[in-house]
Amino acid sequence: MEIGFGMGEATAQIALSDPTTGYLAVEVHRPGIGKLLLRIEELELKNVRTIEGDAFEVFEQMILDSSLDGVHLFFPDPWPKARHFKRRIVNQEFIAAVAAKLKPGAFFHIATDWQPYAEWIAEEFTKQTFFTGGEVDRPDWRPLTRFEDQGINKEHPVADFRFIKK
């Protein structure tokens, strides 16, 4: 499952390179959903389903506990201002919600190009007991999205995190 796929570039490329795995792509932003549906058609992908909705509601209403093999969260909105930190999706409630839906041994992969958010993520994961893991090298399988490209152009270092559900 990918949460907040944006325009779906990474989703489509990952699904194309791994046709035997089913991908569930969740996004609240309608134009992004349209864009991914177009890519699915162009690339004739048979292994992607999209859901228009908030990840929390999707978890609550549509996903069984211990049912997912992995979750991708690529470049979540960084909400850089202190008064907006409460909007950051990576928090204790979200970590617990993802943990509940993952099978034991399943992964939670997060990437961010906002260094203060990387520090925030590392800190949030020290407070929980569902996962082991931490920062890792950029994996080859994660495509460079337009969003990441912009970050790199602005010389924002990208941090990848990989956590494993106990």
Ligand X SMILES: C[S@@+](CC[C@H](N)C(=O)[O-])C[C@H]1O[C@@H](n2cnc3c(N)ncnc32)[C@H](O)[C@@H]1O
Position 151 contacts ligand X (CB under 6 A): no
Q: Return d(Cα 50, Cα 76) in angstroms, integer.
A: 18
Catalytic residue among 65, 77, 140, 160: 77
Under rule CB under 6 A, residue 33 binds ligand X: no
What gap in Å lies between CA 9 and CA 86, rounded to an integer?
28
77 among known catalytic residues: yes
Sheet holding 2-3, edge to edge: 48-52, 23-27, 2-3, 68-74, 102-112, 159-165, 131-136
Which of 114, 145, 158, 161 is the binder for ligand X (CB under 6 A)? 145
Q: Which of 24, 40, 89, 98 binds ligand X (CB under 6 A)?
A: 89
**55 touches ligand X (CB under 6 A):** yes
Q: Is residue 15 within 8 Å of residue 45, measured between CB atoms?
A: yes
37 binds ligand X (CB under 6 A): no
**Token code pair at residue 49:** 């389903």
101's tokens: 């839906």
Q: Does 74 bind ligand X (CB under 6 A)?
A: yes
Give least dist CB 60 to ligand X, A. 12
Give the interface with ligand X as residue ranges (CB under 6 A): 3-6, 10, 26-29, 32, 54-56, 74-77, 89, 145, 147
List the catalytic residues: 77
